[in-house]
Amino acid sequence: MSDVRGFAVLGHPIGHSLSPRLHTAGFRSRGLEDCRYLAVDVPRPESWPEVVETLWQQGFTGFNLTRPLKELAAASSRLGRRDRWAAATGAVNTLLVNGTDANSWFGANTDAPALLQSLEVRCLVSRRALVFGSGGAARASLAALESAGSTVTMASRRRLRAAARWVPFEEGLDAAKDADLVVNATPLGQDAEAGWPRLPVFEAGQTVVDWVYAPAATPFLLTAGRAGARCIGGLELLVRQAALAWVHWFGEAGPLLAMGQAVGWDPP
């Protein structure tokens, strides 16, 4: 094992990831000179456990997982333990690995509590929420909002079995104006990804959240802002979930201010 403490984000595609920048800023802020963070492309999703094992042999113990690995990891027998959010969402975005057997692999989900933090610091409460998507971010949004007492409707092309309320994607575009909280948990509008076939109609007073962070000002948020909605962007969610990953790696949350400033976001 190397003396360097390694951390990495795994996914595909991964070139757009800001995680190395913000985690490296966090290491410097805390004086963790022996830590490094890499973005690792995993073009064959099923190979992710072997990639983790190879990196562990090189001194890597902490991992973030992004599309399309979150759900694969949650369902994997390689995980010996999961936190309550990973169990609730069926998605894992944070790993702590201390060995190569299943008993030493711990999986967590920090997306769900990151969304809750973003709402709580603004004292926002949602009664009726609409979430676009069916992947890991959508699962995290569903679990987080239901835990806070929201009635959540999911809108997607692929029905999410965990959702009690579901509408087809196109129907969700028309229903957005009737929700007090609207969340985009799809990659629509992300750089190098498909755009929206048409954008929802928003109303003043709504809260609108977009998990996409590149670009920071997405068409989804720009449209919502022009309608008078309160907007929460993907950069904030990215930084908050990353800082919460440190709880599992280091026993305390990462430096939110330093990590946010590294990617151009300042906490409210």
The verdict on residue 268 lying in a domain is no
**Per-chain mean pLDDT for the chain:** 95
Residue identified by tokens 């609207």 is 182
Based on the domain organization, do 144 and 204 belong to the same domain?
A: yes
Domain extent, residue 9, equals 5-109+239-262
Instruction: Identify the band that residue 227 occupies on the pLDDT scale cut at 50, 70 and 90.
Output: very high
Query: What CATH number has the domain bearing residue 190?
Result: 3.40.50.720
89-125 residue pLDDT tens: 999 999 999 988 878 999 999 999 999 999 999 999 9
3-state secondary structure of 147: helix
Check 23, 36, 70, 78 and give the catalytic one.
Answer: 70
As a whole number, mean pLDDT of residues 173-190 equals 96
The verdict on residue 136 lying in a domain is yes
Residue 2: is its pLDDT beyond 70?
Answer: no
Query: What CATH number has the domain bearing residue 245?
Result: 3.40.50.10860
Based on the domain organization, do 194 and 97 belong to the same domain?
A: no
Based on the domain organization, do 167 and 82 belong to the same domain?
A: no
Based on the domain organization, do 74 and 175 belong to the same domain?
A: no
- What is residue 175's predicted lDDT score, i.e. its pLDDT? 96
Based on the domain organization, do 228 and 256 belong to the same domain?
A: no
Based on the domain organization, do 158 and 202 belong to the same domain?
A: yes
140-181 residue pLDDT tens: 999 999 999 999 999 999 888 889 999 999 999 999 999 999
Residue 41: is its pLDDT beyond 70?
Answer: yes
Based on the domain organization, do 120 and 207 belong to the same domain?
A: yes
Instruction: Identify the band that residue 192 occupies on the pLDDT scale cut at 50, 70 and 90.
Output: confident
Based on the domain organization, do 220 and 250 belong to the same domain?
A: no
Kindly give the residue spans of alpha helices, DSSP state H, lying in 121-233. 136-147, 169-175, 219-226
Based on the domain organization, do 225 and 164 belong to the same domain?
A: yes
Based on the domain organization, do 95 and 133 belong to the same domain?
A: no
H or E element that contains 246 = helix 234-250
CA distance linking residue 122 with residue 105, whole number of Å = 35
Based on the domain organization, do 126 and 103 belong to the same domain?
A: no
The verdict on residue 40 lying in a domain is yes
Number of domains in the chain: 2
Based on the domain organization, do 132 and 56 belong to the same domain?
A: no
Instruction: Confirm if 67 and 11 have CB atoms less than 8 A apart.
Output: yes
Residue 268: is its pLDDT beyond 90?
Answer: no
Residue 177: active-site member: no
